[in-house]
Amino acid sequence: VLKESSNELTAYGKLLAKLPDFDSLPMTQCVLAALRDYNCGRDLICLASILSVLNTTNLLTQIPQRFKSSDGDFMPLLNVMNEILLIKQSVPA
């Protein structure tokens, strides 16, 4: 992340610095990999944001059935976030 000789950011470090702070370098590195390698960074950023501020243990049990998915525990969270963003876009500011 830093060049040893000058304490400047490497090219990789500069990419990491453009991302939101997820309170964890490994999480930020995962988001960068998702953006670069899998083109799913938006979804990972949404999930990381949710997980960083909410206690999802209780939340997951309260999510309505229509948001649930057999694709994994975090997909309902992403489905809820996508619904919220869709509603937000449809409401005039």
Confidence (pTM): 0.61
Secondary structure class of 23 (helix, strand, coil): coil
Q: Token pair of 12, please?
A: 């990789």
DSSP conformational letter for 2: B
pLDDT of amino acid 25: 84
pLDDT of amino acid 48: 80
What is the residue extent of each domain of the chain?
1-53, 55-93
pLDDT of amino acid 87: 93
Name residues of the chain where pLDDT drops below 50.
Answer: none
pLDDT in tens, 71-91: 888 899 999 999 998 999 999
Quote the CA–CA distance of 30 and 47 in Å, as a whole number.
12
CB atoms within 10 A of CB 60: 14
Q: Token pair of 9, please?
A: 């950011």
DSSP conformational letter for 21: P
